[in-house]
Structure 1
Amino acid sequence: MLRIMGKFSVNVLKSSSLCNKYMCFRKTKMRVVSVTQQNCSLRNYSSPPGDVKSLHSVINPHISRIRNIGIMAHIDAGKTTTTERMLYYSGYIRTLGDVDDGDTVTDFMAQERERGITIQSAAVTFDWKDYRINLIDTPGHVDFTVEVERCLRVLDGAVAVFDASAGVEAQTLTVWRQADKHQIPRICFLNKMDKNRASFTYAVESIKEKLKTKPLLLQLPIGEAKTFRGLVDVVTKEQIIWKPTSDLDDGKNFERKPLVETDDPNLFQEVQDARNTLIEQVADLDDEFAELVLGEHSENFDLVSADKLQSAIRRITLAQKAVPVLCGSALKNKGVQPLLDAITLYLPAPNERSYEFLQWYKDDLCALAFKVLHDKCRGPLVFVRVYSGSLKPQSAVYNINKSCTERMSRLLLPFADQQIEIPSLMPGNIALTVGLKQSATGDTIVSSKASAVAAARRAGRDAGEKKRSLSGVDSLLLAGVEIPEPVFFCTIEPPSMARQQDLDNALSCLQREDPSLKVKPDPDTGQTILCGMGELHIEIIHDRIKREYGIETYLGPLQIAYRETILNAAQATDILDKTVGDKRHFVTAELEVRPRSGEGATTKPIISYAESVSEVLPKELQGAIENGITNSCIQGPLLGFPVQDIDVTVQSLTVHPDTSHTMVSACVSRCIQKALKKAGIQILEPLMNLEITVSEDHLSAALADLAQRRGNIQEIQSRQDNRVVVAAVPLAEMMGYSTVLRSLTSGSATFTLELASYQALSSQEQSALLQRRMGSV
């Protein structure tokens, strides 16, 4: 892989210099390296912020000055553009990147720049007013939800970006729920205030109604759509006005001055009312602030200082009782600097977040591997977040999940696809590691096996003292990433058998980077099966194999990942009697399968044992039995799809003393297959939540098309001048839907798809599917 150095313009103190690959400052070296082939000469990069302060503070600032945040939103809400403006105003880039021009820093993959969407989360580190911000720009497309999920694991706060003309959209709801699950404090940024039909009031109401949260209006826009020219800080009652847009205007120069009544009486009164409302909201949510207001300033809210109000808003935000709301237009370079200020003011530092597991580790190293990239020259590059202790290059670390020790060779500070080599990493920071060849997404990294044992001992002791089960020991493992099941699959073949090994290696690397990508062999044909989260997901993987690994692969037809379940309860018996060498392997098994009752689909069978079996069953055989049952449910008896929603009871089991565990698993697996066939198989198809945003003129055409796709219309909402159709549609009916919708609406409509559940096919549809799969149709 080519390494093309980015051009760094360095304006430093006299004691610093830049010599080819090394930046030297106060006798410390920082090395700039590249992980992807890219023509960096298209962009001008500023130097890392060591030109104005000590390199030690650059590498490891005080933990109270660190902000680990993510940018999250619906696709096309302006996440990447907002990130680019943050980098520009912080001094990390010297020219503004644009998604449409394909020269953004965080969208560094070729496919991202061509398509104008974010596919992989890019971690960027920069400074803003003595604060270190580790920022992650996440995808907005539903096919890449796993990228969002794994990054939320390591964030302390988040910025939710909204299109002010659209309000809360489908993917916004998804990522908001993910952030709720991880209890991440958030602030909202109403972007695109310059856009036609932009409405501050509509967007705020949308946040209140759809996200079920309390918005705190910290800013009001001055104008909307074409008249948007600035904003008013409600907390300080200052107006912030940017220069009129021109080719030379980059948004760096703006005027901030107190708002006085003579400037604009109507705006002044609006801001006055908004501030009074804000103070009342904050007083209702924060007891300390309520005492201040009721005691000292009950007669005149104007006397409430901005500092006191900001402190109270910060406490409320950290407690997730409400969310601050700001506004602006990243594309027009308005409102981003106040947003950066809000990030440092209202979002938490790492030491302001409580993590139960830290009490077991004390000052020992505890880190989470949350993302893996693969570099052809250096192998796996693992993103880690350090929670306690410290990381240093050339040190050995212990992976609790893999139960193995690895040696980390280097530490890199991420700057999109540029990295700076650093000598250490302290708590609260995020960095890339080189040399961890076994670690994968979601793995917990500690200093040594002894450290893990000591932490387990502390956790176990505390669990005993609190009369809890020893499941407390499980808290030693940081939560991994929940990977949803793929809904599409297809075959993938190399141009010749000579390239099969190369393809296998490429897919192995891509799987480490993307846990939602599944690869498995077809047991009948031996072909490689590629399973993904959507059409775009598989298309991107196919393109990456060609671009990054030079393999021209062929994809088979895209197919739906159905499921199988049973209709009735059934019992079966199987006997295995086999002699291998001088040992006789003899097993008799009787099992019962039943349809699962209750809500919530589960792919793994729930296994229980009859009382007569559980009393005499050796523990070492239990694993073999459960492996046999689980493996037999991977491929159902009808079409080979995974079997879900079943309960299995082991009614009886007889095992000869010389029988191996493998033979026990084989007998149990055959017995399950017999029982499944007796029970009768029902095919389940994925049902998708569909949301279409369409103009009134094209609404009837979109609805008529949905009716032909077995779509169930659930709701039709109004969104400004558009209509939003919410429906449930079988995934099988949505193949190639983007092309059809584009044709029906002259390219004006947009849609999102998200897996809702699996539903049973009718007998007619199941028969038709069987005929197609058997080649009769």
Structure 2
Amino acid sequence: MWRTCHAVRTLNLGILAHVDAGKTTLTERLLFVSGVIDQLGSVDDGNTQTDSLPLERQRGITIKSAVVSFEVNGVVINLIDTPGHPDFIAEVERVLTVLDGAVLVVSAVEGVQAQTRVLMRTLQRLCVPSLIFINKIDRSGAQEGPILQSISDRLTPGIIAMGSPYGLGTHDPGFTPYDPAEPGFTSRLTSQLADHDDALLAAYVGDEKVPYDQLRHSLVTQIRAAQVHPVYFGSAVTGAGVEALIEGVTEFLPTVEGDAEGPVAGSVFKVERGPSGEKIAYVRLFSGTVRIRDRLHFGDNAEGKVTAIHLFDHGKAVHHGTVTAGHIAKLTGLVDIQIGDAIGTPRTTAGHYFAPPSLETVVVPSNPADKGALHSALTQLAEQDPLINLRQDDVRQEIYVSLYGEVQKEVIQATLASEYAIDVTFRETTPICVERPAGVGTSLDVLGKGGNPYVATVGLRVEPAPAGAGIEFRPDVTIDGIPIHAFKDVEAFRRTVETAVRNALRQGIHGWQVTDCIVTMTKSGFVSATSAKDFRLLTPLVLMDALSRAGTIVCEPIHRFHLDVPADTVGQMLAALARLRAVPETPVIRGSECTIEGVIPAGRVHLLQEQLSGLTRGEGVLESALHHFEPVGGKAPSRPHTGVNPLNRTEYLRQMKRGI
């Protein structure tokens, strides 16, 4: 039975897991237990509450995050079910920005899997308070001790089992929470918590008995600091252990109050289209109050009026007049809103938590007449997932999208067919390379000389920066070279030139993004007729000339991989890795299991995944993520430039004159 409480608190909770660990089934069970639904849906039957997309129901996987709400123990929980497949990690990244806490689901049979490790590392890096739910204890092969050891070894040693399962592998399993008065439990609790609590450490060393109230206070503090993680066992299918999990969620994870009277501050973590094509933004509000007809500032300089607000209530999104700090809402009316936009006062963020996509492909309509409709459809899909990085080669009339993997390609294909009635095929998936300057290059276009048609002088120097440094712009010019009459102030001038530099560097000599470089503005000149447009259009010409003089090195993406395989398959596994140009480190063998780590070209990861099952009798587990870029051996690969190419000065000037 749930405790009643007059004061209602809010908790924005994420459910995260490796694909097929059972998080969507757990979400369904939570909705059932809390009374939101009368009948349990099934992932296999395609009738769960959160997997609402036809493709999700068909494939039995979560593709888009979904929000549902329920109330237990006086806490309103906005629960966000996230994708588990690594191809949709971008969807998880956006959710992480709005969470108060999380439940990480681990299968009692499959154990710690590749995505589980990635998610736990990220939760810890962001200090998101998290509980661990070991699911599927009703399945044959479910274990208690080995799975706890695996979590301690491969995820984090900071775990505390909050009870013990029974009936593992049967149709009627259960979970018994430990009694706070049980000496064995309090002893283990004291030992674990002493690592981060000096008072408990002194008591532990002195063999003193610590009151449970003190232990519980320390436990709550350390959970909310993401230093320790309570572990629960159960089965989302049978309901075993779920009530204990809910007690843990409402007792240990931090709830939100927020300042409803403060300045409006929120974050957009999802965008979708409504029945009439209108944009709907999913917003976590951190501060302030938003009402219908309020005008909101968001993104860089955009503004819009809220025409509708929907709050999540007992499994449904219902119309509401306001949304206050701490809540999640769907806002309609913000036409130019994009995923990742800050609403109102921006909050400090840590940037991206996962590596960007390292693969790309060309999307080809089966019917050439669908090219325009395909671009429009992909533009809408890019609103929902900006990391697909839609770009079009106007010369070849080809459309490129970025990918995390092959499953994402299949989902894009199915979505285009089902939602837009467009049949497509794909070219071969290729790695997304980058270019780095090979040396130092300078260029100067002087006003009125050398065929410079613009009323401005621009000089630029390009030079290499350390790997991973990105792009740095240095406006090393004097104030008397800046046309203040054409700009609001010096800062506006700097922003204009830097934006032009960064835009131009999206495509280098070989067509790849240029990175790890320092661009210095060495000269600037003007006359009274000079406008901001002159600097904006001249800068790419000068920059590309300087880059051509410096030369570039094309670098391919390299993934760091972690392989768990049976020890007796190491020989053939190493041979396969050599064929795929991987560079493995010395294998680590522990009994019948072996771990191999190393690096592999991103373009070969899919081939490794395809071969893994056959090489390891289906027991191998692969985890990989973009790690670094390194120079390509042999001839540098190129890709076509999109848009107007400033490397071709004559064509660039012709197109700019036409206003393209």
Q: Is the alpha carbon distance of 1:162 and 1:735 closer, same or farther for their aligned partners in structure 2, counting shifts above 3 Å?
A: closer
| 1:593 has 2:462 as partner | yes
Q: 2:552 pairs with 681, 684, 687, which one?
A: 681
Q: Distance in 1 between matches of 2:380 and 2:77?
A: 30
Q: Is the alpha carbon distance of 1:616 and 1:112 closer, same or farther for their aligned partners in structure 2, counting shifts above 3 Å?
A: same
Could you say what secondary structure the match of 1:673 adopts? helix
Could you say what secondary structure the match of 2:64 adopts? coil
Kept in 2: contact 1:399–1:443 (CA 8 A): no
Q: 1:636 pairs with 508, 518, 522, which one?
A: 508
User: C-alpha root-mean-square deviation of aligned residues, in Å?
Assistant: 3.7
Q: 1:329 pairs with 235, 250, 255, which one?
A: 235
Could you say what secondary structure the match of 1:350 adopts? coil
User: Alpha-carbon deviation of 1:197?
Assistant: 5.0
Letter in 1 for 2:459: E
Q: Percent identity over the alignment?
A: 28
Q: Is the alpha carbon distance of 1:629 and 1:682 closer, same or farther for their aligned partners in structure 2, counting shifts above 3 Å?
A: same
Who is 1:705 aligned against? 576
User: Alpha-carbon deviation of 1:628?
Assistant: 3.5
Could you say what secondary structure the match of 1:665 adopts? helix
The 5-angstrom pairing of residues 716-755 of structure 1 reads 716=587, 722-745=593-616, 747-755=618-626
User: Alpha-carbon deviation of 1:688?
Assistant: 1.2
Q: Is the alpha carbon distance of 1:417 and 1:339 closer, same or farther for their aligned partners in structure 2, counting shifts above 3 Å?
A: closer
Q: Is the alpha carbon distance of 1:632 and 1:576 closer, same or farther for their aligned partners in structure 2, counting shifts above 3 Å?
A: farther
Any idea what the Cα deviations from partners look like across 1:88-144, whole Å, max 9, x if unmatched?
222222333333333322222223233332211111111223322111111222222
Any idea what the Cα deviations from partners look like across 1:59-81, whole Å, max 9, x if unmatched?
xx945x22211111222322222
Who is 1:436 aligned against? 334
Any idea what the Cα deviations from partners look like across 1:597-629, whole Å, max 9, x if unmatched?
3x4252xx212244x646744525433432332
Could you say what secondary structure the match of 2:454 adopts? strand
Who is 1:571 aligned against? 442
Q: 1:667 pairs with 538, 542, 547, which one?
A: 538
Q: Is the alpha carbon distance of 1:367 and 1:571 closer, same or farther for their aligned partners in structure 2, counting shifts above 3 Å?
A: closer
| 1:407 has 2:291 as partner | no
Who is 2:657 aligned against? none
User: Alpha-carbon deviation of 1:758?
Assistant: 0.9
The 5-angstrom pairing of residues 132-143 of structure 1 reads 132-143=76-87
Who is 2:114 aligned against? 170
User: Alpha-carbon deviation of 1:540?
Assistant: 1.4
Any idea what the Cα deviations from partners look like across 1:9-30, whole Å, max 9, x if unmatched?
xxxxxxxxxxxxxxxxxxxxxx
User: Alpha-carbon deviation of 1:544?
Assistant: 0.9
Q: 1:273 pairs with 167, 184, 192, which one?
A: 184
Kept in 2: contact 1:701–1:744 (CA 8 A): yes
Kept in 2: contact 1:162–1:189 (CA 8 A): yes
Any idea what the Cα deviations from partners look like across 1:225-268, whole Å, max 9, x if unmatched?
5699333322446xxxxxxxxxxxxxxxxxxxxxxxxxxxxxxx
User: Alpha-carbon deviation of 1:311?
Assistant: 4.1
Q: Distance in 1 between matches of 2:66 and 2:314?
A: 6
Q: Distance in 1 between matches of 2:639 and 2:396?
A: 19
Who is 1:35 aligned against? none
Q: Distance in 2 between matches of 1:443 and 1:372?
A: 10
User: Alpha-carbon deviation of 1:151?
Assistant: 0.9
Who is 1:386 aligned against? 285
Q: Is the alpha carbon distance of 1:587 and 1:397 closer, same or farther for their aligned partners in structure 2, counting shifts above 3 Å?
A: closer
Q: 2:294 pairs with 388, 396, 405, which one?
A: 396
Any idea what the Cα deviations from partners look like across 1:159-213, whole Å, max 9, x if unmatched?
1222345554332232223323432111122223344554433333344444445
Kept in 1: contact 2:109–2:143 (CA 8 A): yes
Stretches of structure 1 that go unaligned for 5 or more consecutive residues are: 1-51, 238-270, 447-451, 453-473
Q: Distance in 1 between matches of 2:80 and 2:302?
A: 29
Q: Distance in 2 between matches of 1:719 and 1:441?
A: 44
Kept in 1: contact 2:460–2:519 (CA 8 A): yes
Kept in 2: contact 1:695–1:749 (CA 8 A): yes
Q: Is the alpha carbon distance of 1:657 and 1:389 closer, same or farther for their aligned partners in structure 2, counting shifts above 3 Å?
A: closer
User: Alpha-carbon deviation of 1:344?
Assistant: 0.5
Q: 1:514 pairs with 380, 385, 399, which one?
A: 385
User: Alpha-carbon deviation of 1:340?
Assistant: 0.8
Q: 1:121 pairs with 33, 42, 65, which one?
A: 65
User: Alpha-carbon deviation of 1:152?
Assistant: 1.3
Who is 2:272 aligned against? 373
Could you say what secondary structure the match of 2:390 adopts? strand
Letter in 1 for 2:409: I
Kept in 2: contact 1:694–1:750 (CA 8 A): yes
The 5-angstrom pairing of residues 497-576 of structure 1 reads 498-575=369-446
Q: 1:317 pairs with 193, 217, 223, which one?
A: 223
Kept in 1: contact 2:511–2:638 (CA 8 A): no
Q: Distance in 2 between matches of 1:206 and 1:747?
A: 19
| 1:426 has 2:426 as partner | no
Letter in 2 for 1:421: H
Q: Distance in 2 between matches of 1:497 and 1:227?
A: 55
Q: Distance in 2 between matches of 1:771 and 1:290?
A: 60
User: Alpha-carbon deviation of 1:219?
Assistant: 1.5
Range with greater deviation from structure 2 (171-180 or 744-753): 744-753
| 1:220 has 2:220 as partner | no
User: Alpha-carbon deviation of 1:751?
Assistant: 2.8
Q: Is the alpha carbon distance of 1:601 and 1:198 closer, same or farther for their aligned partners in structure 2, counting shifts above 3 Å?
A: farther
| 1:144 has 2:88 as partner | yes
Letter in 1 for 2:185: A
User: Alpha-carbon deviation of 1:704?
Assistant: 1.8
Any idea what the Cα deviations from partners look like across 1:343-393, whole Å, max 9, x if unmatched?
001001113x8xxxx6xx84344333221112233622221222233334x
Who is 1:646 aligned against? 517
Q: Distance in 1 between matches of 2:287 and 2:462?
A: 47
Could you say what secondary structure the match of 1:84 adopts? helix
User: Alpha-carbon deviation of 1:157?
Assistant: 0.8
Who is 1:608 aligned against? 474
Any idea what the Cα deviations from partners look like across 1:501-538, whole Å, max 9, x if unmatched?
43233222212211222111214323222222322223
Q: Distance in 1 between matches of 2:303 and 2:531?
A: 31
Kept in 2: contact 1:492–1:553 (CA 8 A): yes
Q: Is the alpha carbon distance of 1:480 and 1:441 closer, same or farther for their aligned partners in structure 2, counting shifts above 3 Å?
A: farther
Could you say what secondary structure the match of 2:165 adopts? strand
Q: Distance in 2 between matches of 1:205 and 1:747?
A: 22
Higher Rg: 1
Kept in 1: contact 2:278–2:335 (CA 8 A): yes
Kept in 2: contact 1:369–1:385 (CA 8 A): yes
Could you say what secondary structure the match of 1:363 adopts? coil
Q: 2:126 pairs with 170, 182, 185, which one?
A: 182
Q: Distance in 1 between matches of 2:529 and 2:208?
A: 88
Q: Is the alpha carbon distance of 1:390 and 1:503 closer, same or farther for their aligned partners in structure 2, counting shifts above 3 Å?
A: same
Q: Is the alpha carbon distance of 1:434 and 1:427 closer, same or farther for their aligned partners in structure 2, counting shifts above 3 Å?
A: same
Letter in 2 for 1:593: V
Could you say what secondary structure the match of 1:220 adopts? strand
Q: 1:201 pairs with 134, 145, 163, which one?
A: 145
User: Alpha-carbon deviation of 1:334?
Assistant: 1.8
Kept in 1: contact 2:21–2:105 (CA 8 A): yes
Kept in 2: contact 1:486–1:518 (CA 8 A): no
Q: Is the alpha carbon distance of 1:416 and 1:641 closer, same or farther for their aligned partners in structure 2, counting shifts above 3 Å?
A: farther
Letter in 2 for 1:517: I
User: Alpha-carbon deviation of 1:342?
Assistant: 0.5
Q: Distance in 2 between matches of 1:66 and 1:288?
A: 32
Range with greater deviation from structure 2 (587-596 or 744-753): 744-753
User: Alpha-carbon deviation of 1:441?
Assistant: 1.9
Q: Is the alpha carbon distance of 1:701 and 1:431 closer, same or farther for their aligned partners in structure 2, counting shifts above 3 Å?
A: same
Q: Is the alpha carbon distance of 1:772 and 1:413 closer, same or farther for their aligned partners in structure 2, counting shifts above 3 Å?
A: closer
User: Alpha-carbon deviation of 1:730?
Assistant: 0.1
Q: Distance in 2 between matches of 1:663 and 1:645?
A: 27
Who is 1:690 aligned against? 561
Q: Distance in 2 between matches of 1:634 and 1:742?
A: 38
Any idea what the Cα deviations from partners look like across 1:2-60, whole Å, max 9, x if unmatched?
xxxxxxxxxxxxxxxxxxxxxxxxxxxxxxxxxxxxxxxxxxxxxxxxxx999xx9xxx
Q: Is the alpha carbon distance of 1:429 and 1:770 closer, same or farther for their aligned partners in structure 2, counting shifts above 3 Å?
A: closer
Q: Is the alpha carbon distance of 1:188 and 1:384 closer, same or farther for their aligned partners in structure 2, counting shifts above 3 Å?
A: same
Q: Is the alpha carbon distance of 1:484 and 1:734 closer, same or farther for their aligned partners in structure 2, counting shifts above 3 Å?
A: closer
The 5-angstrom pairing of residues 37-116 of structure 1 reads 62-63=7-8, 65-116=9-60
